[in-house]
Amino acid sequence: MPGPETIAAALAAARARLVAADVPDATTDARLLMQHVLACDHAGLILAGERSLTVAERAAFEALLSRRLAHEPVSKILGEREFYGRLFHVTADVLDPRADTETLIDVALEQPARRVLDLGSGSGALIVTLLAEWPEATGVAVDLSETALAVTAENARRLGVAERLTLLQGEWFAPVSGQFDLILSNPPYIPTAEIAGLEPDVREHDPLLALDGGADGLSCYRAIAGAAAPHLAPQGRIIVEIGAGQGPDVARIFAAAGFRQGAERRDLGGHVRALLFTFPA
């Protein structure tokens, strides 16, 4: 039976195992899992470093660590992820919301909107954030996945915007009626053949429905651009997230459907991440 282990020693050992398993961000991830077990913040963890773990704490940490060693993302293990300064509940049924997607929120907030539509809402990161930022706005969230839509609903409730959000299950615009000042979408955009080569954290823990953009990665943009015009209010805007290098192709798809391209915005990695369109061209 091994003797008591200090928190600092357990963290160092966990870090080494994560590095050996090729888990990125081993130091941060070990720390976040330990903070969860001890229910403390970063400062509390530093203060507690030389105390010994209890048997129960050690078992709880090992259980979480073994999931991370199997490449489950920390957000999915802990069931939460911060997005635009708010904590979102995340499950295996939704895409883990990415920091890059906050670029769409920055573009959206440059012009107020009262009626907002989010196509493919997943966790609700986009629509729930915008309804929280705009207390007068109402929103509609669409997702093909019923289980994803349940997570949108849960986050809308937790963040106090549920009364202003309508949830619709179905394919893009199929269940939608009416017009919107702002239509947003972060659709699946990975070409099907590239999915097998993605990092295991993504490939095995984000839903395929949230990743697969068809043979060339662009099929969802074609579906959305082809049906958007009747749902855009005068002076309305469409903002879509794109994958690295997809800008020219997506711009062509929207231009062919009669839209004019406005601002484009780069993410922190320097890739064009958000494209804005208005109608008519």
Ligand X SMILES: C[S@@+](CC[C@H](N)C(=O)[O-])C[C@H]1O[C@@H](n2cnc3c(N)ncnc32)[C@H](O)[C@@H]1O
Choice between 18 and 238, CB closer to ligand X: 238
Chain-centre distance for alpha carbon 220: 17
Choice between 109 and 209, CB closer to ligand X: 209
Choice between 97 and 217, CB closer to ligand X: 97
Q: If DSSP states are collapsed to H, E and C, what string results for 7-70? A: HHHHHHHHHHHHHHCCCCCHHHHHHHHHHHHHCCCHHHHHHHCCCECCHHHHHHHHHHHHHHHC
State the nearest-atom distance from the C-beta of 120 to ligand X, in Å: 2
State the nearest-atom distance from the C-beta of 156 to ligand X, in Å: 13
Got the DSSP string for 79-105?
TEEEETTEEEE--TTS----GGGHHHH
- For residues 17 and 61, the answer to whether their CB atoms sit within 8 Å is no
State the nearest-atom distance from the C-beta of 23 to ligand X, in Å: 22
State the nearest-atom distance from the C-beta of 144 to ligand X, in Å: 4
- For residues 177 and 202, the answer to whether their CB atoms sit within 8 Å is no
Choice between 121 and 246, CB closer to ligand X: 121
Choice between 23 and 210, CB closer to ligand X: 210
State the nearest-atom distance from the C-beta of 208 to ligand X, in Å: 9
Reading the block at residue 184, the tokens are: 């947003």
State the nearest-atom distance from the C-beta of 98 to ligand X, in Å: 7
- For residues 271 and 99, the answer to whether their CB atoms sit within 8 Å is no
- For residues 141 and 180, the answer to whether their CB atoms sit within 8 Å is no
Residues in Cβ contact with 172 at an 8 Å cutoff, skipping those fewer than 6 apart: 119, 120, 142, 220, 223, 224, 227
φ, ψ for residue 34 (rounded to 5)? Answer: -65, -40
What is the three-class DSSP state of 135? coil
Q: Which residues sit at the interface with ligand X, rule CB under 6 A?
A: 94-95, 97, 101, 120-123, 125-126, 142-145, 148, 171-172, 186-188, 209-210
Choice between 26 and 119, CB closer to ligand X: 119
Choice between 34 and 119, CB closer to ligand X: 119
State the nearest-atom distance from the C-beta of 235 to ligand X, in Å: 24
State the nearest-atom distance from the C-beta of 94 to ligand X, in Å: 6
Reading the block at residue 269, the tokens are: 């990695």
- For residues 167 and 149, the answer to whether their CB atoms sit within 8 Å is yes
- For residue 35, the one-letter residue type is Q
Choice between 11 and 140, CB closer to ligand X: 140
